[in-house]
Amino acid sequence: MAISVKVMRRPEAGRTSYMRATLKGMSLTFKHMVRPTKVTLEYPEEQPDLHPRWRGTHRMEVHADGRPKCVACGLCPTVCPANCIRLVGGEDDQGNRYPIVYEIDEFRCIFCGMCQEVCPVEAIHVGRHFENAEYTRDRFVYDLDRLMEQDHPTTLLWDPSDPRSE
Amino acid sequence: MPDSGRKANTVTLTIDGQEVTVPKGTSLLHAAETLGTEVPHYCYHPGLTAPAQCRICLVEVEGAPKLQPSCVTMAQDGQVVHTESPAAKRMRQGVLEFYLVNHPLDCPICDMSGECKLQDYVFDEGREKGRGREPKRVFGRDDFGGDVLYYGDRCVMCTRCVRFMDEVARDSRLTVVDRGSRAVIDTFFDRGLEGASFAGNVVDICPVGALVSKDFLHKARAWDLDHTQSVCPNCSQGCNIELHTRDNLVQRLRPRENQEVNGHWMCDYGRANYEWMNRPGRLEEPAAGRGAKRRAVDWKRVLEHLFVQLREGSGAEVKVVGSASASNEALAGLAAVGGAAGDVSSRVFRSRRAADEVPLPGFPSLVRRRDLAPNVDGAGLLGFERTGDDGGGGGLEDLAGHDGVLVVLGDELADQGEDFGAGASLYVYLGTFDSPAARNADFVLPVTTFAEEEGSFVNAQGRVQRYWQGMQAPGSARPAWLVLGALAAVLGGDGTPASAEDVFAGLVAAHPAFAGLTYDALGDQGAALQKEAAHG
């Protein structure tokens, strides 16, 4: 069975004017010159407005005296589906349970936010933050000091006025 | 009427609509357990008396005016019991709410979290939200001495610890002080639990996080630990234990029930001695050559060379050093290899001996024995003789300069010098750690510790007990029974054993003392050797 071929009928050469199409295009151009609608962002001078539930790299909340809020309960390494949190608990000089080692491998992290959700003392948070560039790969394993230094806003995993989304 | 003449010693009752027949004198709690129903309980512990004071095991018994404590109510014929009736559930929820009036919600920092009975029961049946508005009373924590810390806030006053010290340890060092919500467990004056030999058990039996181990404090979470059935290697009592491991490191030892050996208990000495299982710096690769000529060689070649040398030297006088920490399987393999290599003139082992025994008065069959190694009796049955002093040293004078074949298994030869075995025609060292005295060894073969292999020990009661592998061996270390079994197989012409079970079967065939035993028969509770053989 032969393949059917549709033959396009085109105007003969020399009998076509492109003027109309050109004017149509130019009118759009001039319209944008006079009344521009911008879709790009002048980053880094302008910063994007991240969604309240944006989940970026982590941050550890601290007490007023500079201690981490973490009590080394072990729930975040347990719940973490990517197994990216390493935690060794211990006791500080005031007898409080605290993390001797707390490391998050941000490369392994899938930013699900479950660590923040499970945390009983609201210590670990995912952040509304996306500028994570580093010169070396090993800088992406954030230790406790690094996590405590981070100062970007934290993610709002749920609306506090409507915690059950009702 | 077949039963009419004599009194039946079983009773049949109905629990939650299911009929169950249990021996007379069984409590409702145990009867429910046989059906797979766990009735919540705190104060009741199978190894202790039941005061029925925690009030959480109350169940509904038809015909009884009030709910009955199932831990002390004995099953009777025709009883109809409901553990899940609305009345029983409402009671439990109420009791749990009272417990939570003062129990802090500090599960995130509590060591018991994950294995806590209060946590479990409240999660199952408790109220979703607490109604308490008053502040909770705060006691802080108290150092009881020994390995035990007491967090008074978390205590539910089940008094298991007090009863353990009174009834089982028979060393009344704990008591309840004060009354009502101010009640706490305390020690007498400054005496504490320091120096008590079985006090670690109060941490195990505490249903909540009130009594915790200082050694385990904040170290690991309960749900992270892998549990492996094992046998305590720290004395010849052979208490049944569980190895709790995490990241290939032993984190703690816990007793496992075996009414013939240790009941529910174990001693503090055994409990505390586990760090050696995690000791780094192990022998990892097999090596051949004396002194400076030593080179790492892979297992296949090292065994071939060793086999050739054993065969060349066959007929020589063989002296064998075993270890009371090695399994029956390894020792039987060692004896077989020695026998195949020539005339064995001495088979010895050394082990440390404590000055005296430490019995547990309330459970007489549990004694911290003098021999501080798990398989002294097994080594004796397999033809090894004790040598050396009570410190585990000495006794190898005639071996150090021996000029025949020398095989050493599992003894680190810590007190021997670098010239040990210098004159031996062939010196084979199988061990977990390198040693100066292994310098002259022609072959150094890395073997596993008991935690990294499967095997069996014979305890001081003449009971053969299995243990299981709980950790990965470092490098290419192999179980001693596998190495020796392969050699013995080549020398003796039998097939290489595929498992510890095969080696044990061969051992049973060769040694009448073990007659009739198989790994299946040992199970996880072990089995006794035949009496006359064990001491004959």
CB–CB of B223 and A120 under 8 A? no
Helical (H) or strand (E) element with A141: strand A141-142
Q: Which residues of chain B are within 8 Å of residue A95 when distances are taken between CB atoms?
A: 141
* Residue A16 backbone class (left: φ over 0; alpha: ψ -120 to 50; beta: rest): beta
Question: Among residues A134, A132, A68, A133, which one has the least CA distance to residue A103?
Answer: A68
Residue of chain A with shortest Cα separation from B109: A73
pLDDT at B7: 64
CB–CB of A89 and B219 under 8 A? yes
What's the token pair of residue A106? 């941000």
Distance CA B385, CA B396 (A): 12
CB–CB of A90 and B218 under 8 A? yes
C-beta separation of B209 from B151 below 8 A: yes
What's the token pair of residue A156? 């709002």
Distance CA B351, CA B375 (A): 10
User: How far A72 CA sits from the closest chain B CA (Å)?
Assistant: 7
Helical (H) or strand (E) element with A126: strand A124-127
Question: Among residues B463, B475, B472, which one has the least CA distance to residue B523?
Answer: B463
- Let me know if A65 is exposed, middle or buried by CB neighbors in 10 A (0-12, 13-18, 19+): exposed
C-beta separation of B99 from B158 below 8 A: no
Residue of chain B with shortest Cα separation from A75: B108
Q: Which residues of chain B are within 8 Å of residue A96 when distances are taken between CB atoms?
A: 109
C-beta separation of B387 from B322 below 8 A: no
536 residues of chain B, pLDDT tens digit each: 344 445 679 999 999 999 999 999 999 999 999 999 999 999 999 999 999 999 999 999 999 999 999 999 999 999 999 999 999 999 999 999 999 999 999 999 999 999 999 999 999 999 988 898 999 999 989 999 999 999 999 999 999 999 999 999 999 999 999 999 899 999 998 788 998 999 999 999 999 999 999 999 999 999 999 999 999 999 999 999 999 999 999 999 999 999 999 999 999 999 999 999 999 999 999 999 998 899 999 999 999 999 888 888 777 889 999 999 999 999 999 988 888 878 888 899 999 999 999 999 999 999 999 999 999 999 999 999 999 999 888 888 888 888 889 999 988 888 888 889 888 999 999 999 999 999 999 999 999 999 999 999 999 999 999 999 999 999 999 999 999 988 888 877 677 888 999 999 999 998 999 999 999 999 999 999 986 544 43
C-beta separation of B138 from B155 below 8 A: no
Distance CA B371, CA B484 (A): 26
Residue of chain B with shortest Cα separation from A78: B224
Residue at B216: amino acid letter: F
Question: Among residues B448, B427, B414, which one has the least CA distance to residue B338?
Answer: B427
pLDDT at B23: 95
Kindly report the number of other CB atoms within 10 A of residue B303's CB atom: 18
CB–CB of B218 and A120 under 8 A? no
pLDDT at B342: 80
pLDDT at A144: 96
Q: What ipTM does the predicted assembly reach?
A: 0.81
Residue B449 Cα distances to A107, B181, B264, B309, B446, angstroms? 37, 49, 25, 27, 10
Q: What domains appear along chain A, each with residue ranges and CATH number?
A: 58-149 (3.30.70.3270)
What's the token pair of residue B311? 């065969």
DSSP string, B202-263: HHHH-SSSSEEETTTTTT--GGG-EEEEEE--SSTT--EEEEEEETTEEEEEEE--BTTTTB
**A99 strand-pairing partners:** A89
DSSP string, B56-121: -SEEEETT-SS-EETTTSBP-TT-EEESSSHHHHHHHHHHHHHHHHH----GGG-TTTTS-HHHHH
Across chain A, which has 166 residues, the per-10-residue mean pLDDT values are 82 80 94 86 91 93 94 95 94 91 96 94 94 94 95 87 76
Kindly report the number of other CB atoms within 10 A of residue A63's CB atom: 9
Question: Among residues A56, A62, A87, A74, which one has the least CA distance to residue A145?
Answer: A62
User: How far B321 CA sits from the closest chain A CA (Å)?
Assistant: 42
**B11 strand-pairing partners:** B22
CB–CB of A78 and B107 under 8 A? no
Q: What are B443-489's pLDDT values in tens digits?
A: 999 999 999 999 999 999 999 999 999 999 999 999 999 999 888 88
User: What would you measure as the largest C-alpha separation in chain B, in angstroms?
Assistant: 86
> Which residue among B141, B217, B224 places its CB closest to the CB of A74?
B224
C-beta separation of B389 from B395 below 8 A: yes
pTM assigned to the model: 0.88
For chain B, the residue count is 536
CB–CB of A72 and B109 under 8 A? yes
Residue with tokens 């599992």: B410
Residue at B522: amino acid letter: L
CB–CB of B141 and A97 under 8 A? no
DSSP string, B335-383: HHHHHHHEEEEEEEE--BB-SS-EE-TTSTT-EE-SB-STTHHHHHHTT
Distance CA A157, CA A165 (A): 11
Residue with tokens 């506090």: A160
> Which residue among B141, B217, B221 places its CB closest to the CB of A74?
B221
Contact A118/B at CB under 8 A: no
Percent of residues in chain B assigned helix, strand, coil, to nearest 5:
30, 25, 50
Number of alpha carbons in the 13 Å side-chain half-sphere of residue A55 = 14
CB–CB of A73 and B108 under 8 A? yes
For residue B168, give the DSSP letter: I
CB–CB of B218 and A73 under 8 A? no
pLDDT at B536: 39
User: How far B183 CA sits from the closest chain A CA (Å)?
Assistant: 23
Question: Among residues B389, B403, B384, which one has the least CA distance to residue B336?
Answer: B384
Number of alpha carbons in the 13 Å side-chain half-sphere of residue B516 = 9
Distance CA A4, CA A6 (A): 7
Distance CA B357, CA A44 (A): 77
